[in-house]
């Protein structure tokens, strides 16, 4: 009876509506509650720098290289298990490649060949095309990105809505297939890129050294302007410009803390203490 009365005396907890945005773990209120993942970029603002049309036969070469690495990874796992071989960090990374990862890469390369490098499938599309589950597709993409076969970028898009609520939503990622450097030593000679002549390698090294010396003498703005020659250089220039703007903003906000002015009372008191004391003559 006492327990029942005690239960009646406690105020009932109010149920939070399901449409309210979930609070963050830190306790700070989320400004919009928008379901946008970290490191996402707005769709339509960078794709012209990200997508590159593949060369003729490049998707097939990448797929053959991935299948070779799949066999090499199995061989490395067998040697580590049976012979007790200690694998390097690069070899351990290659052993994570699975058949499902190669199948997902094959679908990405097919889309790259058909769409001239513009690859932005959803997880549902990849799951249906490869007959794999969403969790398997997500794990395969993480493996491909970790090895270096795929570069992906998250995106978000603007949505229209009435009243309170988020104005952004997550959309499909963009993908770009590459041949990582760590897999070249495990490929047969006929699948490796042709080496450059020694004189051309030396000329390129001298050119890079001269460019580095020249850029070191430029201010940040002139350095960005000089680097805007390629696709990746433009992206790096944008990142550097954003970092410079943030640095200037921080410097402006902390300007009062760089050289703070002393209070007048303490300044006068310090001057008075530095005076030499003299005996005063009384009339």
Q: Is residue 179 included in any domain, yes or no?
A: yes
Q: For position 255, what pLDDT does the model report?
A: 45
Count structural domains, the chain: 2
**Are 101 and 216 in the same domain?**
no
Asked if 74 and 208 sit in the same domain, the reply is no
From CA 214, how far away is CA 236, in angstroms rounded? 18
Query: Which single residue is written with the structure tokens 């703070």?
Result: 260
Q: How many CB atoms lie within 10 A of CB 59?
A: 21
Whether residue 213 sits in one domain with residue 89: no
**Of the residues 163, 191, 219, the one at which a domain ends:** 191
The whole-number pLDDT of residue 253 equals: 45
Dist. CA 75–CA 27, nearest whole Å: 50
Summarize pLDDT for 36-65 with one digit per residue, the tens. 888 788 888 888 888 889 989 999 999 999
Q: Give tens-digit pLDDT for 145-185.
A: 999 899 888 898 988 876 676 678 899 999 999 888 888 77
pLDDT at 249: 47
Shared domain for 70 and 180, answered yes or no, is yes
Same domain (yes/no): 168, 75: yes
pLDDT at residue 120 tops 60: yes
**Which residue in this structure is represented by tokens 């490191």?**
39
Whether 242 and 104 map to the same domain: the answer is: no
Q: Which of 152, 169, 191 is the last residue of a domain?
A: 191
**251 close to 261: Cβ distance less than 8 angstroms:** no
Look at residue 25 and tell me if it is in a domain: no
Supply the mean pLDDT for the chain: 76
Q: Which two tokens stand for residue 274?
A: 């530095």
The predicted-structure confidence for 193-229, as pLDDT tens digits, reads as follows 666 688 877 888 888 888 788 777 877 767 666 655 5
**Domain membership of residue 238 as a residue range:** 198-253
Assess if residue 220 is contained within a domain: yes
Which bin fits 180, alpha (ψ -120 to 50), beta or left (φ > 0)?
beta
Q: Is there a domain that residue 11 lies in?
A: no
Report if residue 262 sits inside a domain.
no
Split at pLDDT 50, 70, 90, the class of 95 is very high
Residue 109 covered by a domain? yes
Query: Do 107 and 247 reside in the same domain of the chain?
Result: no
Q: Tell the residue number behind the tokens 């339509």, with chain if given.
A: 44
What is the pLDDT averaged over residues 70-77?
92
Are 48 and 90 contained in the same domain? yes
Q: What are phi and psi of 83, to 5 degrees?
A: -95, -5
Locate 120 and state its tokens: 């932005």
Same domain, 153 and 235: no
Read off the pLDDT of each residue in 27-35 and give the average, rounded to a whole number.
54
Residue entry with tokens 């991935």? 66
Is the pLDDT assigned to residue 1 strictly greater than 50?
no
pLDDT value of position 275: 58
Residue 209 lies inside a defined structural domain of this protein: yes
Whether residue 267 lies inside any domain: the answer is no
* Residue of 226, 174, 223 whose CA lies nearest to 48: 174
Query: The whole model's pTM is what?
Result: 0.60
Q: Which residue has the higher pLDDT, 275 or 154?
A: 154
Per-residue pLDDT at 107 exceeds 90:
yes
Same domain, 119 and 209: no
45 with 178, same domain: the answer is yes
Residues 161 and 72 occupy one common structural domain:
yes
211 vs 123, residue with greater confidence = 123
């Amino acid at each position: 009876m006492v327990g029942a009365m005690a239960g009646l005396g406690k105020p009932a907890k109010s149920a939070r509506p399901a449409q309210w945005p979930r609070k963050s773990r830190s306790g700070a209120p989320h400004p919009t509650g928008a379901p946008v993942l970290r490191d996402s970029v707005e769709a339509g603002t960078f794709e012209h720098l990200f997508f590159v049309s593949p060369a003729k036969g490049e998707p097939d070469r990448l797929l053959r290289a991935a299948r070779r690495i799949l066999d090499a990874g199995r061989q490395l796992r067998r040697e580590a298990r049976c012979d007790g071989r200690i694998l390097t960090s690069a070899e351990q990374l290659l052993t994570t490649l699975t058949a499902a990862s190669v199948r997902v890469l094959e679908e990405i390369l097919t889309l790259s060949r058909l769409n001239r490098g513009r690859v932005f499938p959803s997880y549902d599309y990849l799951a249906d095309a490869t007959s794999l589950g969403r969790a398997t597709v997500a794990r395969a993409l993480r493996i491909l990105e970790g090895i270096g076969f795929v570069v992906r970028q998250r995106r978000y898009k603007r949505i229209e809505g009435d009243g309170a609520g988020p104005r952004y939503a997550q959309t499909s990622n963009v993908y770009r297939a590459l041949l990582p450097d760590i897999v070249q030593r495990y490929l047969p000679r006929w699948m490796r890129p042709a080496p450059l002549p020694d004189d051309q390698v030396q000329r390129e090294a001298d050119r890079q050294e001269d460019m580095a010396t020249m850029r070191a003498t430029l201010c940040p703005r002139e350095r960005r302007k000089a680097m805007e020659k390629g696709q990746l250089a433009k992206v790096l220039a944008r990142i550097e410009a954003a970092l410079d703007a943030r640095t200037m903003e921080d410097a402006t906000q902390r300007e009062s803390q760089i050289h703070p002015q002393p209070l007048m009372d303490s300044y006068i008191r310090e001057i008075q203490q530095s005076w030499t004391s003299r005996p005063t003559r009384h009339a």
